[in-house]
């Protein structure tokens, strides 16, 4: 992840919460990624299986 990625996601989540309070597409995506990725090996496996593109 780039240095700015967390900053970007936090801002997009804040935007979604302020302007789209009844929708949670970005939050849902972030939660799924948090569930799937806990280690560098998780990322490698997802890239190897073409689930993530790096």
| Residue 53 is assigned to a structural domain of this protein | no
C-alpha 41 chain-centroid distance: 17
pLDDT at 4: 86
Range of the domain at 42: 5-48
* Ramachandran sector of residue 52 (left: φ over 0; alpha: ψ -120 to 50; beta: rest): beta
Q: In whole angstroms, how large is the CA radius of gyration of the chain?
A: 13
pLDDT (tens digit per residue) in 3-45: 788 899 899 999 999 999 999 999 999 899 999 999 999 999 9
| Residue 54 is assigned to a structural domain of this protein | no
Total structural domains within the chain: 1
Give the pair of three-digit tokens for residue 47. 């890239």
| Residue 20 is assigned to a structural domain of this protein | yes
How far apart CA 12 and CA 54 sit, in angstroms, is: 21
Tell whether the model's pLDDT for residue 1 goes beyond 80.
Answer: no
């Amino acid at each position: 992840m780039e240095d700015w990625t967390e900053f970007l996601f936090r801002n997009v989540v804040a935007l979604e919460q302020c302007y789209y309070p009844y929708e949670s597409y970005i939050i849902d995506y972030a939660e799924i990624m948090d569930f799937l990725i806990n280690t560098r090996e998780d990322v490698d496996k997802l890239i190897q299986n073409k689930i993530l593109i790096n």
